[in-house]
Amino acid sequence: MALAPPQSDQISLRAQGRVARRQAFSRLSRYILLLATLAGIGVLAVLAVDTMVRGLPVLDWQFITSYPSRNAVDAGLRSSLLGTVWVMGTTIILAIPVAIGTAVFLEEFAPKGRFTSVVRLNIANLAGVPSIIYGILGLTVFVRGVELQGVTLFPALGTTILAGSLTLALMILPMTVIASVEAIRQVPPSIRDGSLALGATRLQTVRHHTLPGALPGIMTGTILAISRAAGETAALIMIGAFAFIAFDNKSVNEDFTTVAIQIYNWTTRPQEAFRANASAGIIVLMVMVIGLNLVAVLIRERFRRK
C-alpha cells in the first residue's frame, strides 16, 4: 500500500486495509450497541402494547368498583385498590419517620466509632435481603407473635393490614435510609456550620437547615421505595395475605388484599377471561408505579436546577 507511488496531487487521507477495517468495525459497533440498549426498552414497549390490547376492554368503572368474584366478568379491583391504599398509607406512616430518624442519627448524632460503622454496614446488607425473607420475618414476628417463656414480646396481629405494613416498612427501610443519608450529605457543610455558629442547637440546625435542604432527595428516595412496596407480592403472600376480600377495609386490624396480589391470583387461573382481568389490573398497578416514579423524577429535576 505504502509503496504505491503517490498519484501526483490526489493524496487520500482515508485509511486503508487493516486500519479501515478497524474503523468500519468501530463505526458499526455504535449501531449494534444502540440496538442492545434499546432491546430492553423494546421488550417493555411490546409488553405495554400486549397489556393494553388485553386489558383495556375490561378496564371500566364497573371493574374498578367491583369486589373480586368467581365470575371473571363480575370481578373487580375494589377491595384490592382499597387494600393497597391502606397498606401504602400505613407503611409510609411507619417507615418514613424511622428512616429519616436513622439517617439523621447516622449523619448528625452518631458517635464516630464501631457502633456506627456496624449500623451502616448492616443497613447496606439489609438492602440486599430478598423480599420473601422479609415475608418470613413478618409471618413469624408480626402475624404469629413472639412469645418467650410465657411473656409476650410481640402480640400476634394475624394477617392484618398492620402486619403487612410492618413487614413492608422493614423491607423498604434500608433503601429509604440510604437515599436519605445521601440527601443529607448533599447539604453543604457551610450551612450547618453557619447555623451552629449563630448559636442554634444541633437539633435546631437539623430541623431548620439540614432537613429542609435534604427534603427533595429524601422525598425522591422515599417515593421510589413506596412504589416498590406498592408492587410487592411475595412478602405479602408469605404472611398469608391471599384471602378472598369482599368488604371495604375500615381499620388496620382487618384482613386485606392488594392489586399486586389480585393480579397474581388472576394469573394463576387457567381461564382466558381472568387473564384479561390480570392485564387490566396490571394497567392500574403500572399507572400507580410509573406515576410515583414520574413524581420522584420531577422532584429531583426541579430541585437540581436550584
Partner 1 sequence: MASEPTTAPMGHDAALLQKQMQHSTFKRPGELAVVALLWLCGTISLITTVLIVTTLFGETIDFFREVSPAEFFLETRWQALIPGTESFGIWELVAGTANVVLWSMVFALPLGLAAAIYLSEYAHPRTRSILKPILEVLAGVPTVVYAFFALTVVTEYVLRPIFGADRVPIFNSLSASLMMAVMILPTIASVSEDAMANVPRELREGAYGLGATRLEVAIKVVLPAALSGVIAAVLLAIARVIGETMIVALAAGSTPTLTLMPLEGIQTMTGYMLQVGLGDAARGTINYTSLFAVASTLFVFTFALNVIATWIVNRFREAYE
Task: Please select the residue that binds partner 1; options are 56, 93, 124, 287, rule is CB under 8 A.
Answer: 124
Does residue 72 touch partner 1 according to CB under 8 A? no
* Segments of 50-197 assigned E as strands: 146-148, 151-154
Smallest distance from partner 1 to CB 168, Å: 13
Residues 6+ apart with CB under 8 A from 14: 20
Q: Choose the stretch contacting partner 1; rule: CB under 8 A; options: 66-74, 81-89, 120-128, 245-253.
A: 120-128
For the chain, where are the E strands, in sequence order? 146-148, 151-154
Of 92, 163, 238, 284, which one interacts with partner 1 (CB under 8 A)? 238
Least Å from the CB of residue 5 to partner 1: 25
Select 123 or 179, whichever has its Cβ closest to partner 1.
123
Residue choice 104, 162, 245, 284 for contact with partner 1 (CB under 8 A): 104
Kindly identify the residues of this chain, within the stretch 36-55, that bind partner 1 according to CB under 8 A. 36-37, 39-41, 43-44, 46-47, 50
Q: Measured from the CB of residue 23, what is the shortest distance to partner 1 in angstroms?
A: 6
Longest CA pairwise span in the chain (Å): 102
Q: Are 259 and 84 in contact (CB under 8 A)?
A: yes
Identified binder of partner 1 from the candidate list 117, 122, 152, 271, rule CB under 8 A: 122
Residue 67 CB, nearest approach to partner 1 (Å): 20
Distance CA 16, CA 23 (A): 10
All 3 cell numbers of residue 9?
Answer: 496531487
The reply to whether 273 sits near partner 1 by the rule CB under 8 A is no
Return the sign of the alpha-carbon dihedral for residues 188, 193, 195, 198: negative
State yes or no: residue 227 binds partner 1 (CB under 8 A).
Answer: yes
Q: Which is nearer to partner 1, 193 or 248 (CB)?
A: 193
CB neighbours of 238 closer than 8 A, spacing ≥ 6?
Answer: 132, 135, 136, 138, 139
Q: 207-226: which residues touch partner 1 (CB under 8 A)?
A: 224
The whole-angstrom separation of Cα 52 and Cα 280 is 8
Residue 299 interacts with partner 1 (CB under 8 A)?
A: no
| Contact (CB, 8 A) for 131 and 171 | yes
Buried b (16+ CB within 10 A) or exposed e, 129-155: eebeebbebbbebbbbeeeeeeeeeee
Among 16, 25, 73, 246, the residue binding partner 1 under the rule CB under 8 A is 25
Q: What is the closest distance, in whole angstroms, from the C-beta atom of residue 235 to partner 1 in the complex?
A: 9
Residues 128-187 that bind partner 1 (CB under 8 A): 128-133, 135-137, 139-141, 144, 170, 173-174, 177
Of 72-80, 82-90, 183-191, 267-275, the window that binds partner 1 (rule: CB under 8 A) is: 267-275
Residues 251, 253, 255, 257, CA torsion sign: positive
And the C-alpha cell for 248? Answer: 371495604
Smallest distance from the beta carbon of 9 to partner 1, in angstroms?
26
Contact segment (CB under 8 A) with partner 1 among 72-80, 83-91, 245-253, 283-291 equals 283-291
Among 181, 184, 230, 245, binds partner 1 (CB under 8 A): 230
| CB atoms near residue 54 (< 10 Å) | 18
User: Under the criterion CB under 8 A, does residue 23 sit at the interface with partner 1?
Assistant: yes
